[in-house]
A and B are shown apart, each in its own frame.
Chain A
Amino acid sequence: MIDLATIWAFIIAFAVFVYVVMDGFDLGLGILFPLFPQKTDRDVIMNTVAPVWDGNETWLVLGGGGMMAAFPLAYAVLMPALYTPMIAMLLGLVFRGVAFEFRWRTQKARNKWDIAFAGGSLLATLAQGIALGAILQGIHVEGRQYAGGWWDWLTPFSVLTGVALVIGYALLGATWLVMKTEGELRDRAYHLSWMLLIAMLCAIGAVSIATPFLSVQYTQRWFAWPNIILTAPVPIAVAAVTALLLRALSNKNDHQPFFLTLGLFALSYAGLGISMYPYIVPQSITIWQAAAPTNSQVFMLVGVSILVPLILGYTAWAYWVFRGKVRPGHGYH
């Protein structure tokens, strides 16, 4: 029952989820950047993630590289199918990534790099969300290759998932700010968290309603007996986490909102997994069809089982070193 391909599907899913957990909030900060026009606020916002953003984005490289290694056929089909959103995401990441360093290196053009940071973050997030929607709605495959056109990814559904992810990352960013800042900046982050949470719940609802209409498989997966025993707890858990999140925001508990928002992401992600499994390219390629030969998967599994715990360990250490609230500094300029 549990075979190598399944283990690898979970590893890749894990890598992508860790990426969402780690880069989601720092992309979210970029999305929220235009709402914080003051320089001191922007400096603080940047500094909450400056020491860790490189590590966060490395999970995206692992997701891509790991997929090419473990499921080369899926990688070879998905990338051309998602060509435009992928290129857009990469270019967005270029702009926002360099902005971290560049904005400190210039007085005159700082504003430009702030725009690059915000625009790049928004573009990358939108592209990721659209790519997700495009995967869910199905991809035209013939033989071992993508056989659709280069605009197939763009549909109302993929735009919906794109917007939903922007809202979701923005909420992660806002609750991160609640945790990492203080004073007026934090108060505004609280205010934003409220509005974004409501928007996020609408987005989760809209995507959940739209998904079953995409394919009979999704409908059966969620609503047919006996699957419903397994799937019903997901929406119930979403309701429970939402209630906790609302309470944490009311009580002004600085730490809980961020982690509870991650909980919402985890549940939505589990929902995605339920819809897709065992397909890696929905409705055409299963994880077993796409799997690399056993010796490739075993060779990597050895490395992953030793190295990933190590990586999580020193990543946690880096976050620990830079723990606590970030304040505007005095006397440095």
Chain B
Amino acid sequence: MFEGWDAVVLARAQFAFTMSFHIVFPAFSIGLASYLAVLEALWLATRREVYINLFNYWLKIFAVAFGMGVVSGIVMSYQFGTNWSSFADKTGPVIGPMMAYEVLTAFFLEAGFLGVMLFGLERVGPRLHFVATLMVAIGTLISAFWILSANSWMQTPTGHAVNADGQFVAADWLKVIFNPSFPYRLVHMVLAAYLTTSLVVGAVGAWHLLRDQHLAGARVMFSMAMWMATLVAPIQILAGDQHGLNTLEHQPAKVMAMEGHYQSHKDGAPLILFGWPDQREAKVKYAIEVPKLSSLILKHSLDAPLAGLDTVPRENWPPVPITFWSFRIMVGLGFLIMGLGLLSLLMRWRGMMYQSPLLHHFAVLMGPAGFIAVLAGWITTETGRQPFTVYGLLRTVDSASPLAAPAVGSSLIAFIIVYFAVFTAGVIYILRLMAQPPHPGEQGPTKDLPARAAGITPAAGTAVEGAR
């Protein structure tokens, strides 16, 4: 099996597959960790029971999601070596230290305080426990900082030199870390994580409101989530626009692919809304377009000339169809999310926030929208920078390990089977937890743990009573 296959294509498929599975969990846990910190802070400030109930409700879900994020993340840290050893050798001196800093400043912080956050409330008291929750939340954000910096350097490399062995080396670490696309990517991704989480929380709240309008926990979580979507979705659209302009400056070919611009336009380029990009014929078939709008968006002038892929050597073209469509999926979902936020604002203003089945059904449908948008966004940016791993400097084909196709193909199949089996089960367990309504006296993950250490024998229900 796999004789005659291209080992590089298989390695790319493996990276895309394992990465796509992985990104879903951090995208959710970055937002959820912050949400948990907010809930616990509100509980400490107001002592209203509904907040600690919600905290414990989401903590159980966080525990399952975080575990899946950890195990799928360990795979990523070794994938650079197993399938992309030439890349690891050449970029290790630049990318390696950033990832090492991610481990040292973020992963240890998250993992070190996670145990206390999950199981330690009655052992350390509410204040220290809040510190643990805060550390986990901060850890997820620091992690985003480093990994997005590393990714951004691969997209827009600056501050480096090349040594005699052909390795990239850092000439200026500040320029490497704060490379041109990093600030935009960081803001765009962290906001995406917050939106993703707010949509999940909103969908769960709406689901339970559809069954019982008076459920206190469901009301609070739904309201909080809708505020988040209302406020952050427009900001995210602006941030995305800025990120796009930055991409136009540093990776024009990617924007050409996103826009489907095979041809250059001297006086105003049209915005292609939909169409079927044909990579071989180098044109977008069945295009529905708005004249000159693309120039207006990208250059803020109707008649501004825009270069197309015909100005780029063909061997440097990204795969346009994937980039073009994944971009549209992301943008479309972005506007739908904003629509949900606006509808919730209208209903809130009318006092129908908890009584509108229309709003609740819409929110439930939008539950997975954040995940899909995050995946579509990453597919856009990662296929759009092909055929390079380090943009313009190191080609993807020159990055792979010296492995034969059967080795890469077998491991790909193993990953597919194991990931589907394991993560499907995990998602089912999470959905099962979500199907339970939040209720007074909600227990954290400790509820299901029958064990206690000697010396401390708290009564059942300590999570609430013990902390009062």
Contact = CB atoms under 8 A, between A and B. Distances in A.
Contact of A329 (B77, B113, B124, B450): B450
Contacts of A322: 115, 119-120, 123, 453
Contacts of B315: none
B120 A321 contact: yes
Interface of A: 40, 43-44, 47, 50-52, 54-55, 57-58, 60-62, 64-66, 68-70, 72-73, 75-80, 83-84, 86-87, 90-91, 93-95, 97-98, 100-102, 104-106, 109, 116, 144-147, 150, 182, 292-293, 295-296, 299-300, 303-304, 307-308, 311, 314-315, 318, 321-329, 331-333
B93 A54 contact: no
A318 B120 CA distance: 9
Interface of A is mostly: helix
Contact of A79 (B72, B96, B102, B401): B401
Contacts, number: 276
A64 to B, nearest CB: 5
B429 interface: yes
Contacts of A292: 92-93, 96-97, 167
For B77, B102, B119, B404, which residue has the most chain A Cβ atoms within 10 angstroms? B77
Interface size class of B (residues with CB under 8 A): 35 or more
Contacts of B115: 50-52, 54-55, 318, 321-322
B187 interface: no
A94 B70 CA distance: 9
The 3 closest A-B pairs by CB, nearest first: A72-B92, A69-B96, A79-B81
Given A79-B401, A321-B120, A307 B89 contact: no
B164 to A, nearest CB: 10
Contacts of A76: 81, 85-86, 88-89, 92
B429 A97 contact: no
A80 B84 CA distance: 9
Contacts of A116: 422
Contacts of A333: 450
Contacts of A329: 449-452
B103 A75 contact: no
Given A102-B64, A318-B116, A322-B119, A80 B451 contact: no
Nearest to A143: B402
B402 A145 contact: yes
Nearest to A315: B112
Nearest to A313: B112
Given A61-B103, A304-B104, 18 more contacts: A43-B451, A54-B70, A55-B108, A68-B92, A69-B92, A75-B80, A75-B81, A83-B403, A87-B414, A90-B75, A95-B418, A296-B97, A303-B101, A318-B112, A323-B453, A325-B453, A327-B453, A331-B460
B118 A51 contact: yes
Interface of B is mostly: helix
B281 interface: no
Contact of B105 (A44, A93, A307, A323): A307
Interface string B68-85: 101111110110111001
B331 interface: no
B433 A94 contact: no
B3 interface: no
A75 B450 contact: no
Nearest to A182: B454
Nearest to A112: B425
Given A295-B170, A327-B453, A144 B120 contact: no
Contacts of A106: 429
22 contacts: A65-B96, A66-B100, A72-B93, A72-B167, A75-B92, A76-B89, A76-B92, A86-B82, A93-B71, A93-B74, A101-B63, A104-B448, A104-B449, A146-B85, A150-B403, A293-B170, A303-B100, A304-B104, A321-B116, A326-B452, A327-B451, A332-B448
Given A61-B73, A324-B453, A146 B92 contact: no
A150 B78 CA distance: 17
A87 B415 CA distance: 9
B368 interface: no
Given A109-B425, A327-B452, A303 B116 contact: no
Given A47-B449, A61-B77, A69-B99, A55 B111 contact: yes
Contacts of B319: none
B426 interface: yes
B401 A299 contact: no
Given A55-B111, A307-B105, A321-B123, A98 B422 contact: yes
A269 B56 CA distance: 43
A94 B422 contact: yes
A72 B104 CA distance: 18
B452 A62 contact: no
A65 B103 contact: yes
For B78, B118, B411, which residue has the most chain A Cβ atoms within 10 angstroms? B78
Given A64-B78, A98-B68, A105 B97 contact: no
B210 interface: no
B108 A97 contact: no
A83 B108 contact: no
B322 interface: no
Contacts of B453: 322-327
B77 A65 contact: yes
Nearest to A116: B422
